[in-house]
Structure 1
């Protein structure tokens, strides 16, 4: 099917309910007189409460800091889980969850999937960020096991707007609220759509959910659903053979056979926009994007492009660019700085690709490809990237300095899965 030559946009006005967290943010003034001074790292949230100046995002027992509280959650071959603080080097064991095959991070929580048992274990990484007007608050607490969700063949997991949704293979969408999880409570809300291999993303008090014809494996459109499962209007949201999704600063992206679908919201208006691949079509060796990755809070995405290299998608501009590589890639992530995409070659090499022209900016060999049973791990934030080497060690990469390995971090195990949270 030939893609359209220009993006197609459809709009619908919707009176959405807004989560309590969003209402709280809206109620916090942005007037300079209302903005507290930058928090001191020695001050705890508990102390702030005792002084009658409880900081925004306060959680009993949490400590407020002056900088992001990044956490690295690692999963070993037997399902052992630890959380590492890369600043202090502290490693906190959380538990052992055999059969864990995938890990997905949100702002604070990590969701560990076990499709064989039909469970999703929820881990509190103990580090998170709360936006507050023109600044942010940073918090830390002890990592721990929160609880689990159960269902038939857990699949795609997506966090947004203070919630996380899990799409199960029988078409059940199950969502949990992060405020509940912070209190140690797992209180899911569920509804069901047609069974397929799909995805659900919390969005503006509702949910964006893939839609498939009965018996189809993949979806052909995206629908908007209320928390009780009522379908709401969302015209122009076709997405043939939907695979892959991501939450960006611009909106929510779904991968389609002919490009991507971008869903945005502004002043109660929900808009679905089609972002087609370049008019020339896919070059030889290139494949469509099937999984997206990027720095949290960015409006840029990257994806593996078959054996041809990496796709870069600028959601703000609505443009795709193919960054060709000599070596096939195992993973790709956008740095979100408008300048580069980082990628892992199948040999274990780390590449930095220039967005403007696709040039190879730098390359660095790691200690070989990831060990058998490991998922390609490439976690990226504004200053550093974290990858796993062949031995399951975490390498901290300064990607602005020619992919220099800044240090090797211990996780207390030979990591097979890695997730960064806290930003």
Structure 2
């Protein structure tokens, strides 16, 4: 592998952490900076505002940072090519068959409930997690879940802040699926009683001890909201709501509603999340109200992400590459077709993603060699266009 790093400007789970940002759990070791913590680590300096970046990985494995303040681009790393990238707002997890490369982007936001702290430190590659098959990665406040074909791994998130990879457990997996970090351990998917398809969720302690199971047919998709952790099931979703102990609740689909949501997306920490529903629909799950709403857009949809609560806005990407703004189930704004060429290519189409924050949404067009900044609150106005000399195949938002 080639690496070159550049410095970068019982079902009874204990309560989830009170701070909502998953980027950097408060350091607890001797390497933590002096003071009361607030997400700071030794060698980092605090900023007056968030160092928001768009991080991309091209087909060759070049990792680049686009600073959204000064619009300067720098090379963060050179790694082996990846099939997907996952981020928690600070760490990047480059996923490929047989391994995950972990990179500290060097920029992050620490939520302290009523205020935020923003930090910057040198970027660095932290190493690799290896296993059989192409893994899935799920981020959490105190752990990172990595699910290989035959093994389930939980990484210790505070150890990442100290610059190293530490496995809390590595245990045999029970078929394909997910490892979802919780406050004390994780929940992982398990086969049904007949040993067939994924039919349950298994509580696993931080030391790998298996606990109780929860029915969840065809478990797929997970997201953390301000209310708790959601995992999708064939008949709705299981919500692990924050509390002491965490309350486990089932949020069923409305009677007769199909098809199931298999992937969720939303602005970080919000209660409402969205998912594509079949070919033309969008599911909106309100974890605070414990309710689902199905919106039929009337045309093929390939991506959906919930972006606010007050106006109930959702961004959707059409099959022909246009971005729609939905509010109250209605289309209230539409862009021109932006990523038609990328969506027509199978490899590029899988990598087209939204990244959203409080003020803007971003979309990558790998074949168009462009990224767009979209103001959803202003009629889907294209606020900025970032043309690139490379294909931004994989997109993530860092500094959040």
Q: Taking structure 1 as the reference length, what is the TM-score of the superposition?
A: 0.82
Would you say 1:132 and 2:104 are equivalent positions? no
Does the CA-based 8 Å contact 1:122-1:146 persist in structure 2?
Answer: yes
Distance in 1 of aligned mates of 2:241 and 2:105: 29
Q: Which residue of 1 aligns with 2:383?
A: 406
Cα 1:411–1:144 shift into 2, 3 Å:
farther
Paired residue for 2:138, among 151, 158, 178? 158
The SS at the match of 1:317 is: coil
Which ranges in structure 2 are unaligned for 5 or more consecutive residues?
Answer: 1-9
1:162 shift after superposition: 3.1
The aligned residue for residue 279 of structure 1 is: 255
The aligned residue for residue 197 of structure 1 is 176
Match of 1:369 among 331, 337, 340: 340
Q: Secondary structure at the match of 1:208?
A: strand
| Distance change in 2, residues 1:26/1:133 (3 Å) | farther
Please say if residues 119 and 150 of structure 1, whose CA atoms lie closer than 8 Å, have aligned partners that are also in contact. yes
Query: SS of the counterpart of 1:197?
Result: coil
Alignment of 1:12-91 (within 5 A): 13=12, 56-91=38-73
The CA RMSD measured in Å over matched residues stands at 2.7
**Deviation digits for residues 36-59 of structure 1 (CA, Å, limit 9, x no counterpart):** xxxxxxxxxxxxx7xx76763222
Q: Is the 8 A contact 1:103 1:419 kept in 2?
A: yes
SS state of the match for residue 134, structure 1?
coil
Give the superposition deviation at 1:63.
2.2
Distance in 2 of aligned mates of 1:336 and 1:55: 30
Q: Which deviations, in whole Å up to 9, do the C-alpha atoms of 1:41-97 show, x marking residues without a partner?
A: xxxxxxxx7xx7676322222221122222221011222211221112232212333
Aligned CA distance change for structure 1 residues 212 and 368 (closer, same or farther; 3 Å): same
Pairs within 5 Å for 1:94-173? 94-115=76-97, 118-170=98-150, 172-173=151-152
Question: Among residues 275, 278, 283, which one is paired with 1:306 in the alignment?
Answer: 278
Q: Provide the aligned length of Structure 1 versus Structure 2.
A: 376
Residue 27 of structure 2 contacts residue 39 of structure 2 at CA under 8 Å; is this kept in 1? Answer: no
Equivalence for 1:4: none
Q: In 2, distance between residues paired with 1:105 and 1:119?
A: 16
User: Can you give the 5+ residue segments of structure 1 that lack an aligned partner in the other structure?
Assistant: 1-10, 28-48
- Cα separation, partners in 2 of 1:62 and 1:15, compared to 1, 3 Å: closer
Q: Report what 1:385 is aligned to.
A: 361
